[in-house]
């Protein structure tokens, strides 16, 4: 077992493909799948019903949480029916275009701190006071794609998901599907402008587009642990609200579910069945997870745990030292917990608010969100200017 050492293990773990598989199948897919069940249970709770609670494998029931497995198996074994007059190539392409971009965009999300495999058992002092210096080689960065234009990559890639709905509507050769596809593309285009502009304030404050760098904002110096008051949600609260509204509209969920409105006004995937329909459905839920991840990373300090520094908890001058593995585990857990809470919040929003009319939707996007985001950018810039002149 000579080859099995930390160097080789970290080479495998630091590979972007490994990280993608870990992120997609360790966090994103399970969370998105459980959300499909959670949403039904949540709506049942809010409407005083029971909701799905029967799925089980033998005696294992867990209040019906296994419904998502039943759903997946059913969708795979359903008939993959393709109507006679559709454009077959585009019909097959559309669900791929809806699902793939979200999975690609996750590449920019930093879902944990940098891991130093040689120091896992030790307390990672940021400045070695005595003894030998920490061995920081073979580090594993828990982010797949680190690049200066990080969040632009997200905007660029997620725009492609727009084509999924539009092409599905066109390829289906069905009037309702076409109208649904058109509604979908016009809605997504209307809110994409405000979505990009709503984050501009955070770019101004943090001075970067790189999600990892924005996460570290307010945590720049060692011996000053993460403080929730330093995270961007506080100075950028209007930006957070604007981004959240625009992002929920991008996921095409209630109160913005005019493109789909499944039972009533018929959406772009009316001609889809089986797992192809399941791909649209999965894409929607993964988008919820993705939007929550972006909000977590940009506004809520990403993987940071309040008062946790690299070497343990620091509070009011005292330090409760923790080994590196515990810090890493807590930070990854914190990222998951924040994302989960934001997903849950989106479920609550969906079952609380009624659907907008098409004209209200357009007015909200262009006449309220767009001017408000522009105004907020200029207010942020002015604020930064005042802070700069006050500071020096």
Positions 20 through 59 that interact with another protein (CB under 8 A): 20-21, 24
237 is an interface residue for another protein by CB under 8 A: no
CB nearer to another protein: give 341 or 379: 379
| Cβ count within 10 A of residue 354 | 7
- Range 184-223, binding another protein (CB under 8 A): 185-186, 189-190, 192-193, 196-197, 200, 203-204, 207-209
Burial class (CB in 10 A: 0-12, 13-18, 19+), 386: exposed
Q: Which of 27, 35, 144, 248 binds another protein (CB under 8 A)?
A: 144
> With respect to another protein, which residue has the nearer C-beta, 23 or 343?
23
Q: Which is nearer to another protein, 220 or 318 (CB)?
A: 220
**Does position 140 bind another protein by CB under 8 A?**
no
Select the span of 147-155, 242-250, 305-313, 337-345 touching another protein (CB under 8 A): 147-155
> Does 381 engage in binding with another protein (CB under 8 A)?
yes
Of 178-186, 230-238, 292-300, 327-335, the segment contacting another protein by CB under 8 A is 178-186
Cβ distance to another protein smaller for residue 11 or 378: 378
Instruction: Give the footprint of another protein on residues 257-296 (CB under 8 A).
Output: 270-271, 274-276, 278-279
With respect to another protein, which residue has the nearer C-beta, 112 or 225? 112
Residue 201: CB minimum distance to another protein, A: 8
Minimal distance, residue 319 CB to another protein, in Å: 33
């Amino acid at each position: 077992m000579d080859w099995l050492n930390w160097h080789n293990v970290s080479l495998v773990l630091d590979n972007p493909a490994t990280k993608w598989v870990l992120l997609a199948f360790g966090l994103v897919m399970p969370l998105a799948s459980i959300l499909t069940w959670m949403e039904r249970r949540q709506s049942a709770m809010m409407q005083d019903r029971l909701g799905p609670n029967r799925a089980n494998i033998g005696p294992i029931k867990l209040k019906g949480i296994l419904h998502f497995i039943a759903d997946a198996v059913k969708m795979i074994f359903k008939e993959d029916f393709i109507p006679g007059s559709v454009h077959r190539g585009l019909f097959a392409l559309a669900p791929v275009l809806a699902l793939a971009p979200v999975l690609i965009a996750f590449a920019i999300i930093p879902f944990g701190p940098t891991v130093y495999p040689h120091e896992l058992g030790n307390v990672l002092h940021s400045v070695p006071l005595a003894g030998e210096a920490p061995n920081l080689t073979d580090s594993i960065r828990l982010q797949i794609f680190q690049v200066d234009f990080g969040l632009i990559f997200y905007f660029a890639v997620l725009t492609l998901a727009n084509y999924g709905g539009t092409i599905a509507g066109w390829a289906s050769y069905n009037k309702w599907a076409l109208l649904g596809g058109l509604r979908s593309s016009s809605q997504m285009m209307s809110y994409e402008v405000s979505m990009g502009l709503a984050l501009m304030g955070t770019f101004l404050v943090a001075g970067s587009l790189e999600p990892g760098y924005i996460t570290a904002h307010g945590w720049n110096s060692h011996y000053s642990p993460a403080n929730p008051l330093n995270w961007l949600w506080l100075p950028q609260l209007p930006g957070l609200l604007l981004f959240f509204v625009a992002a929920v509209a991008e996921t095409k969920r209630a109160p913005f579910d005019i493109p789909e409105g499944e039972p009533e006004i018929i959406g772009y995937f009316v001609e889809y069945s089986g797992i192809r329909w399941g791909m649209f459905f999965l894409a929607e839920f993964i988008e919820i997870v993705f939007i929550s991840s972006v909000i977590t990373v940009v506004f809520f300090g990403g993987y940071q745990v309040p008062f946790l520094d690299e070497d343990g908890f620091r509070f009011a001058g005292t330090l409760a030292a923790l080994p590196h593995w515990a810090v890493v585990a807590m930070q990854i857990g914190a990222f998951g917990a924040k994302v989960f809470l934001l997903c849950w919040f989106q479920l609550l929003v969906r079952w609380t608010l009624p659907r907008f009319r098409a004209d209200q939707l357009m007015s909200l996007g262009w006449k309220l969100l767009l001017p408000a985001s522009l105004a907020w950018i200029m207010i942020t810039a002015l604020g930064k200017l005042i802070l700069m002149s006050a500071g020096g």
